Structure 1
Amino acid sequence: MSNRFSGKVALVTGSSNGIGRGTAILFAQEGAKVTITGRNTQRLEETKQEILKAGIPEDHVLAIATDLATEEGQDELINKTIKKFGRLDILVNNAGAAFNDEKGVIGVDQNVSVYDKIMQINLRSVVTLTQKSKKYLVEAKGEIVNVSSIAAGPQAQPTFLYYAMSKAALDQYTRSAAIDLIQHGVRVNSVSPGAVVTGFGEAMGMPSGMHEKYEHFMETHKECIPYGAIGKPIDIAHIIAFLADRKLSSYIIGQTIVADGGSSLVMGMQAHDMMDILKS
């Protein structure tokens, strides 16, 4: 691996599994000191051990188990990162969540409490963590990479209405924050993954085996994923690293790179009822 991020410090939220874990490992392998964070201490430790297995010195990794949805948790992330590493160059706002209505309701009748929970972590936490990071990112002339989703549209997402809304709002935040911050030398961009193999389904409360069934269906229906395979976390991690690498992407400002195996060009997945797929 290269040392293109040598001397840089990266904070990757939601790095206890999936895309966040893959991104943190990649940054560390390419020379960055990394702060990893999540609520699940066991999974967070697994991420740390994966980094150490790659030959990364232990003092290049800071693991903080905290609740990103709280102001206190965010303050802890920023303060401990600066205390240990002295700077912040790259902020990856990867943490995200989708929650099921307790009664299984979808569409416009979902309980608004689900909306509140999703917006708290998917949007509000990005806004406030960016605010708290701004001072240090300006000092470093740093980079922000947000992780959105093809669920942001323009296709309708009645099954995951509030999740899709949060990601659509995040895309607008990316564009607007990019113009606001580039005057200070800070770049903001984002990536919108399609279907990716992560622990997301289980985190949503899907029963064991359900997410695998969904993945198999999508992979075997070319109208859902023309590429014919579910993406892997490292696929998205490489795009995040590209957007955080000013030598490679310096003229990209406020843009979203879609990485979905071609799904959003055909969106045949919209013709299938995911609940029926999971029940089959």
Structure 2
Amino acid sequence: MSRFAGKVAIITGELKKNNFVLSCIRSSGSSNGIGRAAAVLFAREGAKVTITGRNTERLEETRQQILAAGVPEGNVNSIVADVTTDAGQDQILKSTLEKFGKLDILVNNAGAAIPDSQGKTGVSQGLDTYDATLNLNMRSVIALTQKAVPHLTETKGEIVNISSIASGIRATPEFSYYSIAKAALDQYTRNTAIALIEHGIRVNSISPGLVATGFGSAMGMPEQVADKFYSVMATKKECVPAGVMGQPNDIAEAIAFLADRKTSSYIIGHQLVVDGGSSLIMGLHCQDFAALLK
């Protein structure tokens, strides 16, 4: 029997607005992202899945990939909605409960580093960018979680939040607001894990490193430049010690692990880092000491 047979999952996802991608799916064009990979994996493993987004075309591409994996059409609930709004959150939950009757797993996947509308970087970024970044990466997670808790209490369900290694102790000045939001999300994961485990709900999070999605294109890179960025970064041991770029399915498998109570039942409030070793590296470790001493 598939590990998620009989389970119902919501995986929040892609949003596009005014040419700024507001999405942890991190997809552009026909590329796959974390949310899409997770949706296909959960559905293939027997779950009934709600997928969400504002971009109808992208959402339909995800639905078609799920169906192509042999999933019955009745097991997919595709909802065009904006997860950053109360109305969108209500629509996502309402449609899921009406179609599937319950909720077992919530994957708070929607999130992104939003480019400044004036092209500014670092400390010069506008507060409007801060507000938008925190609204997407933090406020929407809090709001949707609050609304989902009564239903997850009934099923003794699971919450998996998607954070980032940008939330760690190392500075990320280019994406300051994003890292602030993800750091807040990590603390929210810990706090809610303790608050909700008494209701039978487990809360954990994933912190991806560099993953070959459309994130580079979403940040304004031409697609060819974004592809080159990923290929070059994978060769830099100071960036990705594993020597290979992470793929969306690497993160999807980690999400599934934390959402599967049979395999991770005693893991509570954990931040699972999936980054090929990137967050373990200090600059001095990247030097060729033998060459330096010659």
Give the TM-score of the pair, scaled to structure 2.
0.88
Q: Look up the match of 1:36.
A: 51
Equivalent runs, 1:2-151 vs 2, <5 Å: 3-14=2-13, 17-151=32-166
Kindly tell me: are residues 172 and 70 of structure 1, through their superposed partners in 2, closer, same or farther at Cα, counting changes over 3 Å?
Answer: same
Distance in structure 1 (CA, Å) of the matches to 2:53 and 2:99: 18
Aligned pair count reads 269
Q: Look up the match of 1:278.
A: none
Preserved CA contact (<8 Å) 1:97 1:204:
no
Identity %: 61
Q: Are 1:256 and 2:271 matched, yes or no?
A: yes
Cα root mean square deviation, aligned: 1.5
Give secondary structure in 1 for the equivalent of 2:173.
coil
**1:14 alignment partner AA:** G
Give secondary structure in 2 for the equivalent of 1:209.
helix
Query: How far apart are 1:97 and its partner, in Å?
Result: 1.6
Q: Which runs of 4+ in 1 moved over 3 A?
A: none
Q: What do the CA deviations read for 1:108-144 (whole angstroms, capped 9, x no partner)?
A: 1111111111111100000000001011000000000
Query: How far apart are 1:153 and its partner, in Å?
Result: 1.3
Q: What do the CA deviations read for 1:58-113 (whole angstroms, capped 9, x no partner)?
A: 00000001111111000000000000000000000001121222332211111111
**1:20 alignment partner AA:** G
Deviates more, 1:258-267 or 1:9-18: 9-18
Q: Look up the match of 2:20.
A: none
**1:238 alignment partner AA:** E
Corresponding residue to 1:154 among 147, 169, 178: 169
Query: How far apart are 1:216 and its partner, in Å?
Result: 2.0
Preserved CA contact (<8 Å) 1:67 1:73:
yes
Distance in structure 1 (CA, Å) of the matches to 2:243 and 2:282: 13
Q: Look up the match of 1:178.
A: 193
**2:266 alignment partner AA:** Y
Give secondary structure in 2 for the equivalent of 1:237.
helix
Preserved CA contact (<8 Å) 1:224 1:267:
no
Deviates more, 1:252-261 or 1:212-221: 212-221
Give secondary structure in 2 for the equivalent of 1:206.
coil
Distance in structure 2 (CA, Å) of the matches to 1:214 and 1:164: 20
Distance in structure 2 (CA, Å) of the matches to 1:217 and 1:245: 35
Give secondary structure in 1 for the equivalent of 2:223.
coil
Query: How far apart are 1:203 and its partner, in Å?
Result: 2.6
